[in-house]
Amino acid sequence: MDQQTNLDRIQIVLVDTQDGANIGATCRAMKTMGITHLALVGNREYDENRVRTLALHASDVWEQAKRFPLLKEALSGSVLSVAATRRRGKFRKHSSLNPTQLAEVVQKTGDGLISIVFGRESDGLTDDEVAMCSQVVTIPTSDQFPSLNLSQAVQIITYCLYDTIKTYPEGANPVTQDRCEEAALKASEALDEIGYFKLGQEKLWTFRFLRDVFVRSALTESEIQKMEKVFVKMARIKAYKNTDYDE
Amino acid sequence: MDQQTNLDRIQIVLVDTQDGANIGATCRAMKTMGITHLALVGNREYDENRVRTLALHASDVWEQAKRFPLLKEALSGSVLSVAATRRRGKFRKHSSLNPTQLAEVVQKTGDGLISIVFGRESDGLTDDEVAMCSQVVTIPTSDQFPSLNLSQAVQIITYCLYDTIKTYPEGANPVTQDRCEEAALKASEALDEIGYFKLGQEKLWTFRFLRDVFVRSALTESEIQKMEKVFVKMARIKAYKNTDYDE
């Protein structure tokens, strides 16, 4: 498979964009780099004229955009979801990619939808929105004025994708983010059963951490089943010991 | 010397930009990548409001922009000048860099002003304007819609410069483009004297070719003198032979 097939499974997700002009400019930025799937999260109405004036010959990207009330729904079915943000937030991700590294990750990721998520013009993505993604991409910028316009950020990232991705990966077939979430939930519940968590928030943090690790490692269905089994079995042994053999 | 010193000797040259909003967006794009020298070519008046609305905290780039009636004046004193264009024009440059390759060239180029030149929103740079530059940079884009917005093109190129340039080159000290032009003129005149050119345009083409080669090889003053001498001496020998020894 080829470059275009790989670019075609990427969707740009805009969360609660405030100005239609920025959506139009984003459509143009995307299409110049061969990426045409746009997802809009939120219920805002946009001024068609503002969108189309800046989209120019990329108005088809706008016309075919999918609308989702919630980010979670837009990400559903993704094998990889990446938050574009400068801020790491309180649910800090364990590593942040630069745009070229992101392109290399996409290049290697097997079959399935890849979502790259951009926040509001005024204040980007919330901590919870970043936490819903399994990775973070950060564009290096000058300390003197680090604030990129939304469509400029999309332009840099899509350029790096277009410039780096030359082929479609063969063989690998990772499960979706939803499936990873299900496994991470099962794992954290198993940990909970054996009294692993002391603090109220610990279970949520661990769940998110495990989910991100599962997504980033691009597990196949049989691998994620093996991973679930590790936690479930471990909890059973511990529970068994607790009730019958503990001294 | 460091990254910022290297970025500080780069100027973005906008030729006859039509809409002030694009100048504002370009100022913002530049400043996010640590590049603050802007040169505006042409005599157009711009609506301050349109510029400042999009420049935001990069209005200082606009306020300090230099104005030049002609491109030649804006490029004067450059050790390297690069035309950003998709079209190669009739004075075809012998190679076109991509943005990362351009950044690598800048990274290696010794002391002096570097100019990166962008054309009009409607139809870019003319063939003559491209010919005034010593290199061409072309941003790879999708065939489906290859037309980048002006400030988006500036954003991609300044991002690649910011991301690649980490240090300032030591030692080398190339002469300016004007000096290369002088040497190329001397060389092509020497060729002319010995009847080298058959067609009317050949002298101009050869002059431009030699100038570009001299600039691209980043010659020092003593090297360019050596180069001039090669042509002048060769012409003298040939002229001598023609008059006295030809059979």
pLDDT digits (tens, 9 = 90+) for B33-82: 999 999 999 999 999 999 999 999 999 999 999 999 999 999 999 999 99
Cross-chain Cβ contact A147/B32 below 8 Å: yes
Q: Among the listed ranges A6-15, A77-86, A203-212, which one has the minimum average pLDDT value?
A: A203-212
pLDDT single digits (tens) A37-60: 999 999 999 999 999 999 999 999
Residue of B nearest to A145 (CA): B32
The CA dihedral of B233, B235, B241, B244, to the nearest 10 degrees, is -100
A77 lies within 8 A of chain B by CB: no
Q: Of A54, A90, A64, A191, which Cα lies nearest the Cα of B150?
A: A54
Supply B99's token pair: 């943005």
Edge-to-edge strand list for the sheet holding A37-41: A66-68, A37-41, A10-15, A113-118, A78-84, A135-137, A96-97
Q: Do A32 and B159 touch (CB under 8 A)?
A: no
Residues constituting chain A: 247
d(CA B225, CA B234): 14
Mean pLDDT of B195-213: 86
Per-residue pLDDT reduced to its tens digit, B14-26? 999 999 999 999 9
> Among A29, A146, A163, whose Cβ lies nearest the Cβ of B152?
A29
Nearest CA in chain A to B25: A149
Chain A environment of B147 (Cβ under 8 Å): 32, 56-57
Q: Does A37 touch chain B (CB under 8 A)?
A: no
Asked if A84 is an interface residue toward chain B (Cβ–Cβ < 8 A), one would say no
- Give A149's contacts in chain B (Cβ within 8 Å): 25, 28-29, 54
Min distance B62 CA to chain A CA atoms (Å): 14
pLDDT tier at A78, thresholds 50, 70, 90: very high
Mutation target vs B (from A31, A33, A101; most B CBs, 10 A cutoff):
A33
Residue A149 forms contact with B (CB below 8 Å): yes
Q: Residue A74 pLDDT more than 50?
A: yes
From A31, A51, A39, A32, select the one nearest A14 (Cα to Cα). A39
Lowest-confidence pick of A24-28, A242-246, B174-178, B179-183: A242-246
ipTM of the complex as predicted: 0.77
Q: Give the nearest partner residue to B31 out of A145, A151, A156, using CB atoms.
A: A145
> Which residue out of A4, A27, A59, A145 would a mutagenesis test of the B interface target, given it has the greatest number of B Cβ atoms within 10 Å?
A145
Which of the residue ranges B18-22, B209-213, B230-234 has the most confident prediction, judged by mean pLDDT? Answer: B18-22
In terms of CA atoms, which chain B residue is nearest residue A29? Answer: B148
- CA–CA min distance A149, chain B (Å): 8
A16: left (phi over 0), alpha (psi -120 to 50) or beta: left
Tell me what pLDDT residue A130 has: 93
Helix (H, G, I), strand (E, B) or coil at B107: helix
Burial of A201 (0-12, 13-18, 19+ CB in 10 A): exposed
Binned at pLDDT 50, 70 and 90, residue A93 comes out as: low
Note whether B40 and B17 are within 8 A (CB): yes
Q: Is the pLDDT of residue B245 over 70?
A: no
Express as a percent the part of chain B with pLDDT over 90.
58
Q: In the CATH scheme, what is the homologous superfamily, with its name and number, of domain B3-164?
A: SPOUT methyltransferase, trefoil knot domain (3.40.1280.10)
Taking CB atoms and an 8 Å cut-off, how many pairs form between chains A and B?
82
Q: What does the pLDDT read at residue B194? A: 81
Put simply, whether B131 touches A (Cβ < 8 Å) is: no
Contact B6, B163 (CB under 8 A): no
Q: Determine contact: A32 vs chain B, CB below 8 A.
A: yes
Alpha carbons A157 and A143: distance in angstroms, whole number: 19
* A245/B contact by beta carbon, under 8 A: no
pLDDT of A238 over the 70 cut? no
Question: pLDDT for B21-43, tens place per residue?
Answer: 999 999 999 999 999 999 999 99
B144 and A31 within 8 Å at the Cβ level: the answer is: yes
Residue B37 φ then ψ, to 5°: -95, 120
Eight-class DSSP state of B1: -
Coil vs helix vs strand at A11: strand
Q: Which residue has the higher pLDDT, B234 or B185?
A: B185
Q: How confident is the model at residue A215 (pLDDT cuts 50, 70, 90)?
A: confident
Q: Which two tokens stand for residue B100?
A: 């990362």
Q: Is residue A88 predicted with pLDDT exceeding 90?
A: no
Higher pLDDT, A220 or A17: A17
Tell me the CA distances in angstroms from A84 to A97, B14, B196, B234, one per residue in order: 9, 30, 59, 60
For B181, residues 6+ apart whose C-beta sits below 8 A from its C-beta are B211
Contact with chain A for residue B142, Cβ under 8 A: yes
- Rounded to the nearest 10°, the torsion over CA B193, B199, B204, B205 is -120
User: What kind and span of H or E run contains A168?
Assistant: none
In a mutational test of the A interface, the residue from B156, B158, B165 whose CB has the highest number of chain A CBs within 10 Å is B156
Q: How confident is the model at residue A206 (pLDDT cuts 50, 70, 90)?
A: confident
The pLDDT value recorded for residue A246 is: 44
Arithmetic mean of pLDDT over chain A: 88
* Position B247 confidence tier, pLDDT thresholds 50, 70, 90: very low
Per-residue pLDDT tens for B133-191? 988 999 999 999 999 999 999 999 999 999 998 776 665 578 888 999 999 999 899 88
Per-residue CA distances from B213 to A59, B90, B114, B142, B180 (Å): 43, 18, 16, 30, 9
Q: Rounded mean pLDDT of A67-94?
A: 84
Pairwise CA distance, residues B18 & B22, whole Å: 8
Do the chains contact at B142 and A32, CB–CB below 8 Å? yes
pLDDT above 70: residue B122:
yes
The alpha-carbon gap from B58 to the nearest alpha carbon of chain A, in Å, equals 8
Q: What is the mean pLDDT of residues B115-140?
A: 94
- Closest Cβ opposite residue B25 in set A28, A34, A149: A149
Q: Residue B203 in contact with residue B197, Cβ under 8 Å?
A: yes
